[in-house]
Amino acid sequence: MNALAARTNTTPGTAQGPPPRRRTALVPTVTLLLGALYCLLPVAWVVIAATKSGRELFSTFTFLPGSGFADNLRDLNTYRDGVYWRWMGNSALYAGLGALLSTAVSACGGYALAVYRFRGRETVFNILLAGVLMPPVILAVPQYLLLAEADLTDSYVSVLLPLVLSPYGVYLSRIYAAAAVPADVVEAGRMDGAGEWRIFTRVALPMMVPGLVTVFLFQFVAVWNNFLLPYIMLSDDEKFPITLGLYTLLEQGANTPALYTLVITGAFLAVVPLIALFLVVQRFWSLDLLSGAVKS
């Protein structure tokens, strides 16, 4: 990845070129701001609710900030010796490593399907796609039973592995590879005597970066928010991801009321790493890798 990043940084972003005039495009900006407002309003509720104390949550005006954020944070921090942070770490591990592996696998598969013409290409592609037809809800139990055969349940691996292959990621990679990796570039690589693997890693991968970061982002969020698979697989709450951990705070039996304020504050904090990830990832969308690579 490092070599790749270094390479991309050396190709200057010639994106849309310097605009001739510095006037704001009004219609697009306003449209986007309206869209942002629509999307932000419910999210704002999570932020505001995280500041409310248990007393204020159900009794004050919905969008009125409360006074309990510091207390909520402290309660969350001390809840069972800070197990929340452990869940956060677990989620980061599942989502980070899972998305990385998933992106690598998607890149391989998508590249092969986009660049090569071989017998059974469409069949392979369709079979991979068909994997999403069976609802994941029903697959969790068989996946559990199969991993139990290998004695892998209740382990980090049991949550990581089933999510590595993402048909969505493969499809996306195929489309982006088809658009971003011109056949003549691959052909030129072969003329130079480069092996297929070398062409893939040195020439094609850098061109696919914008698409691959998208795959990574999607897969990261998908694993981060995944619930049912870890629910079935894990019994040890030290291995729980954040979604499952927060769920145990909501469902503590009738004797103990749900810890709403902890759950909301926890959910709010759990969105922060996703925002950070997005901010990092979106830098890669603005690189015009295609033209840079063709020129070099």
Partner 1 sequence: MRNAPYGFLLPPAVLFVLFFALPIGYAVWLSFRKVRVSGLGLGSGARTEVWAGLQNYTEALTGGELLHGALRVLGYGCIVVPVMLGLALLFALMLDTEKVRLASFTRLTIFLPYAVPGVVAALLWGFLYLPDVSPFSYLLGELHLPWPDLLDGGPLYLALSNIAVWGGTGFNMIVIYTALRAVPAEVYEAAKLDGCSPLQIALRIKIPMVAPSLVLTFFFSIIATLQVFNEPTTLKPLTNSVSTTWSPLMKVYQDAFGRGDIHAAAAEAVLVALATLVLSFGFLRAANRRSRQEGAR
Partner 2 sequence: MPNTKRVRLVATSVAVALGAGALAGCGSSGGDSGTDSGPVSLTYWSWAPGMDKVVDLWNEGPGKKERITVTVKKQASGDTLVTKILTAHKAKKAPDLVQAEYQALPTLVSNDALADISKDVGDAKGRFAEGVWQQTTLGTDAVYAVPQDIGPMMFYYRADLFEKYGLEVPTTWDEFAQTARDLKKKDPDKALTTFSANDSGLFAGLAQQAGARWWTTSGDRWKVAVDDAATRKVATFWGGLVKEGAIDNQPMYTPAWNKALNTGKQIAWVSAVWAPGTLTTAAPDTQGKWAMAPLPQWSASENVTGSWGGSSTAVTTDSRHKAAAAKFAAWLNTDGTALNALAKESGIYPASTSAQLSGAFLNPPEYFANQADFYTRAAEIAKTTAPSAWGPNVNVAYTSFKDAFGAAAKNRSDFVAALNTVQEDTVADMEKQGFEVVR
Q: Which of 196, 273, 222, 194 is nearest to 103 (CA)?
A: 222
Could you say which of partner 1, partner 2, none residue 280 binds, taking C-beta under 5 to 8 angstroms by partner kind?
none
Nearer to partner 2, 122 or 151 (CB): 151
Could you say which of partner 1, partner 2, none residue 269 binds, taking C-beta under 5 to 8 angstroms by partner kind?
none
3-state SS of the chain is CHHHHHHHHHCCCCCCCCCCCCCCCHHHHHHHHHHHHHHHHHHHHHHHHHCCCHHHHCCCCCCCCCCCHHHHHHHHHHHHHHHHHHHHHHHHHHHHHHHHHHHHHHHHHHHHHHHCCCCCHHHHHHHHHHCCCCCHHHHHHHHHHHHHHCCCCCCHHHHHHHHCCCHHHHHHHHHHHHHHCCHHHHHHHHHCCCCHHHHHHHHHHHHHHHHHHHHHHHHHHHHHCCCHHHHHHCCCCCCCCHHHHHHHHHCCCCCCCCCHHHHHHHHHHHHHHHHHHHHHHHHHHHCCHHHHHHHC
Could you say which of partner 1, partner 2, none residue 235 binds, taking C-beta under 5 to 8 angstroms by partner kind?
partner 2
Least spacing, CB of residue 234 vs partner 1, in Å: 16
Q: Is 122 in the site for partner 2 (CB under 8 A)?
A: no
For partner 2, the binding residues in 147-206 under the rule CB under 8 A are 148-149, 153-154
Rounding to the nearest 10 degrees, give the CA dihedral for residues 52, 53, 54, 55: -100
For partner 2, the binding residue among 131, 257, 276, 278 (CB under 8 A) is 257
Least spacing, CB of residue 218 vs partner 1, in Å: 7
For partner 2, the binding residue among 54, 96, 182, 273 (CB under 8 A) is 54
Nearer to partner 2, 2 or 235 (CB): 235
Least spacing, CB of residue 108 vs partner 1, in Å: 5
Nearer to partner 2, 57 or 107 (CB): 57
Nearer to partner 1, 45 or 67 (CB): 45
Taking residues 213 to 252 in sequence order and writing x for each that binds partner 2 by CB under 8 A, - otherwise, the string is: ------------------xx--xxx------x--xx-xxx
Distance CA 234, CA 162 (A): 13
Taking residues 66 to 105 in sequence order and writing x for each that binds partner 2 by CB under 8 A, - otherwise, the string is: --------------x-------------------------
List residues near partner 2 by CB under 8 A. Answer: 54-55, 58-59, 80, 141, 144-145, 148-149, 153-154, 231-232, 235-237, 244, 247-248, 250-258, 260
